[in-house]
């Protein structure tokens, strides 16, 4: 019987750090330090990419590159990207350990799927040095994966598929047909589709939603449903095979995929 053998999780906004706030806060502070104000929406737009690539995309945005040129009377360069990355890392490392609480439902759902023999890999936009902070702190709170691949030791990060392929090698998964990528950003979805694996987006707790647990709880039902529908559409438009509200829906999605695999239905 053909079936999903491996789930590849993202980290911030997917498994830990509800709402993906650690990198957002660091981006805002780093740009403010050089006299440029960026919005949370701008900071979130390239989320999921390797962080230096994320910074490069921010500089390319209308309003940010223009603001830089206005402040410094020149266009930004790659040296500015590198300098900003150092500032960003300083702010991120100062607070990263505080943003490692597992998102509700993640531990229990993955424990259940593990008991059925599934392996849990992971990819991230964080560097290995960043994950050296996240991994032990998340583990102390009960969340562990079987593997973690970072972009800084590969040709490129998301949206390229290399981190997923490295997970396949590390976890001995023989086919992309048996892998499910689960993440909270458009970059996650593109990574999964580029790797030709089953790709699932999650809404609540995601960078795309950009809300705290309290904000979600306090939001009027109709407004919340509207926000969720907007995120769902963005993820489906980016190519997600499925989009769920929370990880608690993932076992049902896996059952659906397993049936498709054995009915010879393509992705």
Is 153 within 8 Å of 180 (Cβ atoms)?
no
Geometric angle at alpha carbon 174, from 173 and 175, rounded to 5°? 100
What is the C-alpha separation between 217 and 225, in angstroms, rounded?
12
Give the strand pairing for 119-122 and 6-9.
parallel
Tell me the sheet residues that pair with 76.
none
Could you list the residues known to form a binding site, using ranges.
10, 12, 184
The DSSP symbol for 11 reads S
Q: How far is CA 56 from the centre of its chain?
A: 18
Could you list the residues known to form a binding site for Mg(2+), using ranges.
10, 12, 184
Residues labelled as active-site residues: 10, 51
181 phi and psi angles, rounded to 5 deg? -95, 130
């Amino acid at each position: 019987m053909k079936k999903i053998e491996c789930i590849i999780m993202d980290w911030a906004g997917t498994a830990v750090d509800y709402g993906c706030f650690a990198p957002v806060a660091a981006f805002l502070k780093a740009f403010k330090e050089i006299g440029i104000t960026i919005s949370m929406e701008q900071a979130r737009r390239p989320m999921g990419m390797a962080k230096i690539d994320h910074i490069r995309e921010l500089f390319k945005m209308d309003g940010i590159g223009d603001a830089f040129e206005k402040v410094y009377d020149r266009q930004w360069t790659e040296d500015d990207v590198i300098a900003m990355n150092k500032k960003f890392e300083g702010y991120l490392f100062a607070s990263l350990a505080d943003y490692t609480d597992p998102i509700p439902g993640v531990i229990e759902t993955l424990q259940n799927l593990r008991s059925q023999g599934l392996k849990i890999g992971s990819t991230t936009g964080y560097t290995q040095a960043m994950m050296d902070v996240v991994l032990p702190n998340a583990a102390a709170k009960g969340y562990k994966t079987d593997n973690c691949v970072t972009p800084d030791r590969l040709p490129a990060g998301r949206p390229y598929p290399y981190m997923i392929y490295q997970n396949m090698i590390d976890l001995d998964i023989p086919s992309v047909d048996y892998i499910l990528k689960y993440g909270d950003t458009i970059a996650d979805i593109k990574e999964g589709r580029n790797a030709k694996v089953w790709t699932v987006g999650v809404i609540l707790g995601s960078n795309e939603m950009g809300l705290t647990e309290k904000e979600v709880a306090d939001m009027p039902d109709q407004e919340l449903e509207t926000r969720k529908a907007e995120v769902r559409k963005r993820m489906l438009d980016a190519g997600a095979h499925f989009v769920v509200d929370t990880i608690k829906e993932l076992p049902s999605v896996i059952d659906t995929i397993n049936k498709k695999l054995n009915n010879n239905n393509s992705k």
